[in-house]
Structure 1
Amino acid sequence: MPFLSLTIATKLGGVADMPEGRAAIQRDLDSLDKWTDRNLMKFNKGKCKILYLESKNPRRQYMLGATDLESSLAEKDLGVLVDTKLKVSQQCALVTKKADYILGCIRKSIASRARQVILSLYSALVRLHLACCVQCWALQYKRDMDILERVQ
């Protein structure tokens, strides 16, 4: 019998500025936990995190079943790393680091310095990392644009 492994990303959100909103989020978490029990599924509760999106947010502790959920300063969604202020500066830094690493590998391992060879490798290996999810980034800061353009 073949084994099938599924990874399902579940996002739950809500406005928690009033006690009713916080109670609704906890109710949703409770019903989600009951649903997984009924359907014989399990969440990896160690990977479940809370991302508070506003500095004035009252940092209420939530639970999934009997497990307290940890808070996080940044989370990846649709391949883009977003922090609590919805900034993507960390994403830009990670992409730049990866692109620089690939450029270093090209420099060390390719003997030819012919323009056509380097451009082909750059287009195939580096540019795809710089363009990945760029539609979601919404670059707002000049320094983020500068570090990405420095690679190019």
Structure 2
Amino acid sequence: MELKDFLKIKNIKVTKGRVEILHILKTFDVSLCAEKIYQICKGNHININLSTIYRTLELFDEKGIIDKIVLEDAVFSYRLKKKTHMHFLECDVCHKEVEIPCPMTQIEEMVQNKTGFTLTEHNLVLKGICKDCKKK
């Protein structure tokens, strides 16, 4: 699907800058901060203001196109949303299960930024007692 068509489907006005930012995010497998996107644009001789990049990233985040990740130095990093797997919480008492999205995205980014390691899988076990069983 063309990037312009994708933006139209998401009810986002198509501009050259938005298409370029989306293209950059699609091209890179890692998350990028706004400054890095700005540097890539400059390197490709594309004239986009840093403020335009920030506004576009916020719009993409609001529309659910990207994941906004807080890194340990309080800088935001962005990447296109990928299909993520889910985890289950199971109550130790009644065995009720609750499905939650994987909370490992931020940790995966920190691991990759600090070590260069790309995680291929992880196991996360969460145990507890549901609110109904705590009341009993």
TM-score, normalised to structure 2, is 0.25
Larger Rg: 1
**Higher share of residues assigned strand:** 2
